[in-house]
Structure 1
């Protein structure tokens, strides 16, 4: 199967066996139990903006090891009722930026929490959350601490992403039973990880997800971030076994197999950053390890002539309509 001009019928059948360590579930259970021992919210303060139709707050919450993680919380101005809420994760090398940079979800009527990426800001966007944990590895975020799963940057970032859900549920004006997670690229990978680790989400929306079928992805593309892992191994040739072991704890396919929430996927078939087959690997096995007779509701949107940008505004419109239908169904099914 070729990867950047794939046949859709092959992609729709692509379900690789992704190696999972025997202690995968225990590793994440212990990690998240330690993080949950602290109250989620650290500080919440109003953030002045020039947006008259929205209110914003500067949020700090306790992420991995209790480290302070920054986020923006934004919602329609003057609305006091609890709202369905979207937790959004940013792409690789980006931070939370300024509160007016991502307005789609609050303008659509949702409460919205945008998580900062610890230590990553400065490549493509601004942020102000540090990653104080050092360990042997390469110079890029994808390789920080990559020789041991306990030290790996993505152990910390995934924990931060789970804790973002805990934090938003502690904020005023949030309907805790209707929380969705959304992200593109690295953000899509984080959304999938959270979907596999939090079992009561209302929905997950993931586009061009990073970290899926990750060990194969490293062999497929030289584009960053996967290319950064390959470049690290081109110098540290003796580290391959340790790196592969570490990556086995953060593969999005493993998280997707454990997910239970309805899911909305999108891929571009010419994506050389996150090859489309890797997104299909997660989609085709989504919910497979839950023990349910049928997988959770899910749908995939394919953009044959697009790369990592995917469907852009067309896809966002599909996301908005899909999420509204899912949340409306949740309300209808709820007892009164």
Structure 2
């Protein structure tokens, strides 16, 4: 696929006017308020994975409307003090899979929480374990169009709320330094991490590659690939519903979350990406932190001119590892004589 979006010099200055409803902040305050005073954790149970260098727990935490959300939580075996945490969000149609599939962050020395996607997990990977009890709401079968014509019922209101509560959950787990928590994701996962950056003011860092739900109107005009294609197909049948759908989508626009973010940010995009077009990524990057209230947060973006949705793959991950270490490194001396963090710290069968 040849480059199809704006030329790179134009992308670097691409700052479209925000497509943002006046009650954007009220919408999200209402969505997040329900679970604000509840214990975030439902259960934390150890899992035998066969891995000697990693310890893993099956975590259930409370998400949107108190719904139980599954996640894998992993620590490096023998960790002796609270570690910075990486909360990772997975792509569209994926679930959390199996606990041994995503080991990069825990192998780098971080506490790692991998959130399941409610009502997804049946398109790619090794599946998921979190149903969405609200799927009877109006809309098509795909997550991108569930509840699309009603802002309070839209799938991403629930999923983004889950993503925010995942940060609260990981901060309450033993072995985690709550002041050093990062949100990470690619594609849909990148869109969720960006939303978390806009909704969690004390996040320590955010890393997003090819984030979905950025520059949504333009992306729908540019591509029929992936989730945007599902939205286009849905509206091709429900003629005349476009503005209603656009209003719903404006509440989950990644550029609006980016404007409110305060954490240092690491972005990545492929210029031939037809799934999450680079103009959407740059719209979020160029406006990132502009409403943060003080000095703009540090940010950088890595561009892959001949790559599509796969972006920089392992090269991008290498850059993320180096960058995140510079943001979250613990520069205090390591207590080598402290005992390892014991499984008993998680309670018995919680």
> What interval of TM-score do these two structures reach, taking the shorter chain for normalisation?
over 0.9
Q: Whole-Å Cα distance in 1 between the matches of residues 31 and 56 of structure 2?
A: 31
Written as runs of structure 1 = structure 2, the 5 A alignment for 1:213-224 is 213-224=215-226
Q: Whole-Å Cα distance in 1 between the matches of residues 66 and 332 of structure 2?
A: 34
- 1:291 is matched with which residue? 293
Conserved 8 A contact 2:201-2:263: yes
Taking a change above 3 Å as real, the CA distance of residues 15 and 3 of structure 1, as seen in their structure-2 partners, is: farther
Gaps of 5+ in 1: none
- 1:277 is matched with which residue? 279
Residue 317 in structure 1 maps to residue 313 in structure 2: no
Q: Using structure 2 for the length normalisation, give the TM-score.
A: 0.92
Offset of residue 4 of structure 1: 2.4
- 1:18 is matched with which residue? 18
Offset of residue 331 of structure 1: 6.8
Residue by residue over 1:247-304, the C-alpha shift from the partner in whole angstroms, topping out at 9 and shown as x without a partner, is 0000000000000000000000000000011100000000011222x31100000000
Query: Which is worse superposed, 2-11 or 169-178?
Result: 2-11
- 2:117 is matched with which residue? 117
Higher relative contact order structure (alpha carbons within 8 Å, sequence separation ≥ 6)? 2
Written as runs of structure 1 = structure 2, the 5 A alignment for 1:166-205 is 166-205=168-207
Written as runs of structure 1 = structure 2, the 5 A alignment for 1:117-266 is 117-125=117-125, 126-133=127-134, 134-266=136-268
Taking a change above 3 Å as real, the CA distance of residues 329 and 79 of structure 1, as seen in their structure-2 partners, is: closer
Conserved 8 A contact 2:92-2:189: yes
Query: Which is worse superposed, 235-244 or 142-151?
Result: 235-244
Please identify runs of 4+ aligned residues in structure 1 that moved more than 4 A: 329-332
Q: Using structure 1 for the length normalisation, give the TM-score.
A: 0.96
- 2:80 is matched with which residue? 80
Partner of 1:150, secondary structure, is: helix
Residue by residue over 1:31-55, the C-alpha shift from the partner in whole angstroms, topping out at 9 and shown as x without a partner, is 1111223211000000011100000
Partner of 2:151, secondary structure, is: coil
Conserved 8 A contact 1:3-1:276: no
Gaps of 5+ in 2: 334-350
Taking a change above 3 Å as real, the CA distance of residues 21 and 3 of structure 1, as seen in their structure-2 partners, is: farther
Offset of residue 18 of structure 1: 2.2
Root-mean-square deviation (CA), in Å? 1.4
Residue 71 in structure 1 maps to residue 77 in structure 2: no
